Amino acid sequence: MGEIEQYLGIMLAIYAVRAFFGFANYWIVFEKMFDFPKRKWKNINGIWIIFYVICTLLYRPVCNYGPRILILIMVALYFFRIVPFLWSKYGWNPSFVIIVIFYTNVIEGIAQTIRFTFANNINIGGYLNLEADIAITIAEILACCVLLSLIILKRVNLVKIYFTKLTNMEYMILLLTNVSYGVLETAIFNSSMVNDAMRKLSIITFLCLMVLITHIIMVREENTSMNNMIGNLKEPMEQITASYIEMNEKNTELRRFRHDTKNLLLVLRSLIAEEKYEQAAEYIDKMQETMDSTKSKTFDTGNFIADALLESKVKTAAQSNITMTVEGCIPASKVEDVDLVILISNLLDNAIEATRQVKEDRRIEIQSILKKNIWILSVKNSCMNEVVIRENRIETTKDNKESHGFGLANIERVTKKYDGNLQLSCENKMFTAQTILMLIA
């Protein structure tokens, strides 16, 4: 017990540093580098952070002085200690386990190279694996510095990169490659038959491997934006397809109804001739119901794709007791269909999501104005609180910011493509997103 007390303070100090920088690295990677959907902060997130810290602090004391069964349990908890927090913060995703194993292995590979390169038999009595702990701590600090540098470079618009989401198989291949090289490097440095030149070549090879892995897992902002755009288009295109099928069915029913109009009028004339006015009135009501049910289009803006999207969104809004009104025409040409879908779907999704939070007066007002080569699309929605906007950016509570902010980057990208802009405003709890596009003559 005296041995444990003697080295416990050093172990806890080293692993406290590791807990801080290790968690910081995962937070930067998942919060700033990946684009996983983020959930609202919950109290259980704090509990999982405490779990992460406790597992980190207990790891070395248990592994050095604990019984075998407890060591096995501790190792399992240690390697997956961040996963519960990630699931709580970013949603259930089994691939997080593979991602965590992969990034942990990368850090350990860097640490091993640091240990072989710089460590000089650092030992403190009964503190087993001191060299490895110090090397991993240095590796995690270096990783944090690199990640923070990338964040700073992104903010000053010098570098705009993200981490791509590889498949589980791709992560496994990179993991096995890194592990295999780690085993080879260990054999090289522990062999008395290998000279210093080979050891230096081993280090250079490892650095090249890290560059290759970095090149694989990092993508530029343009590629990420393209992937997001494709993902955002999937649901609207499904809605357009469904609306087209529905309208086609209604058109078929309407053609059948018109075909039978002559016979229907003969029956109606007969009822009136026989002075069966109540039955005639009921017959007219049924005819009116049939006409309403076969009405082919709810909206007629002059653009079929816009009409289909609007019809789909108005149904979605109605499910939350939101009234949606549309006024004006939407250009049938001069705006690419993909851009039109991105613009309308994102604007309306934002508006619907924000309006759902309002208890009363749930409404969305859409106005489209065409003036020669200028198209102005304005979407107004009632909101729960006043939204503060500075420099055309939303600054308000987290809930409202997420509701209004989702997809604004996509909207701005489309407006800039047409030499236009996006203008945000809020007055009397009515939020307005107005886009202006310059159409080619």
Same domain, 25 and 167: yes
State pLDDT tens for residues 140-199.
999 999 999 988 887 776 766 777 778 889 899 999 999 999 999 889 888 888 888 888
pLDDT at 378 over 60: yes
Q: What's the domain count of the chain?
A: 2
Residue 253 lies in a domain: no
- 438, 329: one domain: yes
Tell me how far apart the alpha carbons of residues 49 and 52 are, in angstroms, rounded to a whole number.
5
**Other CB atoms within 10 A of residue 4 CB:** 13
Q: Does residue 290 lie in a domain region?
A: no
Residues 30 and 168 reside in one and the same domain: yes
176 and 308 part of one domain: no
Q: Is the pLDDT of residue 352 over 80?
A: yes
Which residue among 165, 187, 219 closes a domain?
219
Are residues 209 and 339 located together in one domain of the fold?
A: no
> Is residue 263 assigned to a domain?
no
Instruction: Specify if 259 maps to a domain.
Output: no
pLDDT at residue 46 tops 50: yes
In a domain, 328, yes or no: yes
Q: Find out whether 106 and 87 touch, Cβ atoms under 8 Å.
A: no
State which of 173, 189, 219 marks the end of a domain. Answer: 219
Same domain, yes or no, for 212 and 332?
A: no
Whether 51 shows a pLDDT value over 90: the answer reads yes
Shared domain for 315 and 175, answered yes or no, is: no
Stated pTM of the model: 0.56
Please indicate, yes or no, if residue 306 is contained in any of the structural domains.
Answer: yes
Based on the domain organization, do 326 and 417 belong to the same domain?
A: yes
Quote the pLDDT of residue 31.
85
Using a 10 angstrom Cβ sphere, with 0-12 exposed, 13-18 middle and 19 or more buried, the burial of residue 313 is buried
- At residue 437 the predicted structure's pLDDT band, cuts being 50, 70 and 90, is very high
| CATH number where 425 lies | 3.30.565.10
Residues 63 and 201 in one domain: yes
Please check whether residue 32 lies inside any domain of the structure: yes
Q: Which domain holds residue 307?
A: 301-441
In a domain, 21, yes or no: yes
Shared domain for 66 and 175, answered yes or no, is: yes
End-to-end C-alpha distance for the chain, whole angstroms:
85
* Last residue within a domain, chosen from 204, 219, 234: 219
